[in-house]
Amino acid sequence: MAIREILEVPDPRLKTVSVPVEPDEFNDELKKLVEDMFETMYDAPGIGLAAIQVGVPKRVLVIDLQPEDPDADPVECDHDHGDGAHTHPATKNDPRVFINPVIIEPAEELSTYQEGCLSVPDIFADVDRPATCKVKYQDLDGNHHEENLEGLLATCLQHEMDHLEGILFIDHLSRLKRGMALKKLKKLRQAA
C-alpha cells in the first residue's frame, strides 16, 4: 500500500469526468488502487475519496465514516492466521468501496451537512443534497449491488460521486460564497 498525493484546487484534473471501470479491469491493479486510496484517505484524514482525487480518472470511490480508534481496547482475532489466538487493535472501521456507482432514486427531501473536502483543505460549507438515495454499484470483484443509503453515508456518497463528474462541493455554493472560500484557501496557503 502507498499514500498517494491528493490533488487540490485549482488542479485542472479535478474537473475531469471519470470513466467507468471496464469488466477486464477488475484485477489486482484495481485492488492496489483501492488499497492506496484507503491508506491515503486515512492518512489525510478523511471519510471519503474518489480515484480522481489521486489522479486516476476512474469511477471508483472509497468511504469510511468511522475512523480507526487507536485508544480502543484490543480484541481477540476471530480469524486464524495459523499462529493461534491473538489480538488486534479494535477498530470501528467500516470501509466501503463503490465502483461505477449510479444513483437511481434520489429523495426529493433534502438534508444539509457541513461538508469539507481533501481537495479543498480547511474549507467547510453547508451543502443541500437528497436526504436518501438508492445506489447501484459494483464491488471489487465486479459483483453488482443495489442499496438504499441515508444520513451521512448518502451525503458522502453523493459528494464523492460529484468528483466523478468533475464537480467539487464548492461548486454547489453561490458564486459569492465560492469566491470567499477560494480566497480563504489562498490565504491559508500563503500563511503556511
Distance, CA of 56 to CA of 89 (rounded, Å): 32
Q: Looking at residue 83, what is its pLDDT?
A: 40
- CB-based burial of residue 43 (10 Å sphere; 0-12 exposed, 13-18 middle, 19+ buried)? exposed
**Contact (CB, 8 A) for 148 and 116:** no
Phi, psi dihedrals of residue 160, rounded to the nearest 5° = -70, -35
Report the C-alpha dihedral over residues 108, 103, 155, 158, rounded to 10 degrees: -120
Cis amide bond preceding 130, omega within 30: no
**Contact (CB, 8 A) for 133 and 153:** no
Q: Looking at residue 21, what is its pLDDT?
A: 98
Q: Looking at residue 192, what is its pLDDT?
A: 78
CA of residue 51 relative to chain centroid, distance: 8
Tens of pLDDT along the chain (192 residues) come to 799 999 999 999 999 999 999 999 999 999 999 999 999 999 999 999 999 999 999 999 999 997 555 554 433 333 333 444 433 333 448 899 999 999 998 999 999 999 999 999 999 999 999 999 999 999 999 999 999 999 999 999 999 999 999 999 999 999 999 999 999 999 988 987
Q: Which of 35, 150, 160, 165 is an active site residue? A: 160
Distance, CA of 88 to CA of 52 (rounded, Å): 32
Q: Looking at residue 55, what is its pLDDT?
A: 98
Q: Flag whether the pTM goes above 0.75.
A: yes
Q: How many CB atoms lie within 10 A of CB 31?
A: 13
Q: In what order do the strands lie in the sheet with 144-150?
A: 48-50, 60-63, 96-103, 132-138, 144-150
160 is an active site residue = yes
Distance, CA of 9 to CA of 169 (rounded, Å): 11
Q: Looking at residue 69, what is its pLDDT?
A: 52
**Contact (CB, 8 A) for 164 and 98:** no
Indicate the class that CATH gives domain 12-101+134-168.
alpha beta
